Amino acid sequence: MSDIQNNIYYLFDPKLLDDINTCNFVGKITLENLGSHLKVRPLCLSDYEKGYLKLLSELTKVGDISYEQFQARFNSMKSCSNTYYIVVIEDTSTGLIIGSATLVIEQKFIHNTSSRGRIEDVVIKNDYRGQQLGKLLVDILIERSQKLGCYKISLECKMELIPFYNKFGLKQEESYI
């Protein structure tokens, strides 16, 4: 039975997460020792009902988004192949999305028509923080961007989070407006 028949419609092919090498991950948690009730996968259309937007509201203002709006944005992002990689963590014991992070790939003419990766919207549900799940998501997105050949990976964060992201080899740069 296909994923569509199972009502699973992924933002990107889940097989792209199969070749993630967790040997050099910053955190102690990896895809192999995540636990039986936590599952890392691409965002699904059905995650609307699994609390994805509520999770994002722990990070920033989301707004009152209808299912139709969510579906339209999801399909718009999906139609831009090789651009949007939203990875979520689902707690299968509750059926809720408890973590998420986004990698956006910008295609460039510079650096011999290379790409730049931007990590955005990293959030872990408050009850699950302190378990290195955020580190796992960032590690996954960095590995994915490297496999895509990005010449640079960047993100914007609050000042107090800079030491967290420095652990991944990301460095603070000056002169942004």
Tens-digit pLDDT profile for residues 127-145: 999 999 999 999 999 999 9
Query: Which pLDDT belongs to residue 6?
Result: 46
Q: What is the DSSP string of 52-107?
A: HHHHHTTTS------HHHHHHHHHHHHHSTTTEEEEEEEETTTTEEEEEEEEEEEE
pLDDT at 64 over 90: yes
Query: Which pLDDT belongs to residue 3?
Result: 46
**For residue 81, what are its two tokens?**
């192949």
| pTM for the model | 0.89
- What is the average pLDDT value for the chain, to the nearest integer? 89
Query: Which pLDDT belongs to residue 2?
Result: 45
Tens-digit pLDDT profile for residues 96-127: 999 999 999 999 999 999 999 999 999 999 99
- The rounded distance, in Å, linking the Cα atoms of 62 and 89 is 19
